[in-house]
Amino acid sequence: MTRLSVNINKLATLRNARGGNLPDIVKSAIDCQRFGADGITIHPRPDERHIRYRDVYDLKPVIHTEFNIEGKPSDTFINLVLEVKPRQVTLVPDADDAITSDHGWDTIAKQSYLRDIIQVFKTAGIRTSIFIDPDLEMIRAAADTGTDRIELYTGPYAHEFEKNNEQAVAPYIEAARCADALGIGINAGHDLNLYNLNYFRKQLPKLDEVSIGHALICDAIYLGLENTIQLYKRKLS
């Protein structure tokens, strides 16, 4: 069964809008796990507009499932991850002012750069994943970086899903086959929701993990957090 990692960034955005500690990010992570989440994902950004660096340290002791920290591998980020030692680190090529992740790594141009950073994390016993488009050339080059997994950027899939679901998922099927043949684990994330998730999961039978935040938190406003997490898990079963 594909694991569900709940990205709690949007809960931190809500907290930061008013100051104080509502919602409580630590309690939210505890509850997400209690409600069935297989992991917790956070993406601390340099401006701390949602998850703050302090949150990362506060969350570490309460996560008993899988802790996944995403981010651009700046010196600050690398040092943070090495101190906290999550189960997984996911490297993304975001600009500092990016609203959200919207493209994957150029694993050819950044081959040496990624290889060096990934080796640092692997030496520390942290599983690595890199955010990547469903491009076979980039996936083949990703294998040479030494990464344990890739996270397929599913924004284009979600955007095209309603128009033609078979056409939308086709590049991801090929990407997953390529990654599996190279011995790379497969994660996915971005704009996956209750409407498009199950179809995606069925087409990629070796999908290890999805990371979902924005859509899941939006659904939770109407459906409740516990019920929403269970609904997403059913889509993955």
Residues with catalytic annotation?
A: 43, 70, 190
Quick one: which of 148, 208, 210 has its CA closest to 183?
148
DSSP string, the chain: --EEEEE-HHHHHHHHHHSTTSS-HHHHHHHHHHTT-SEEEE---TT-SSS-HHHHHHHGGG--S-EEEEE---HHHHHHHHHH--SEEEE----TT-SS------TTTTHHHHHHHHHHHHHTT-EEEEEE-S-HHHHHHHHTTT-SEEEEE-HHHHHHTTT-HHHHHHHHHHHHHHHHHTT-EEEEESS--TTTHHHHHHH-TT--EEEE-HHHHHHHHHH-HHHHHHHHHHHH-
Q: Which residues contact 97 (CB under 8 A, 6 or more apart)?
A: 47
Measured distance between the N- and C-terminal CA atoms of the chain, rounded to whole angstroms = 6
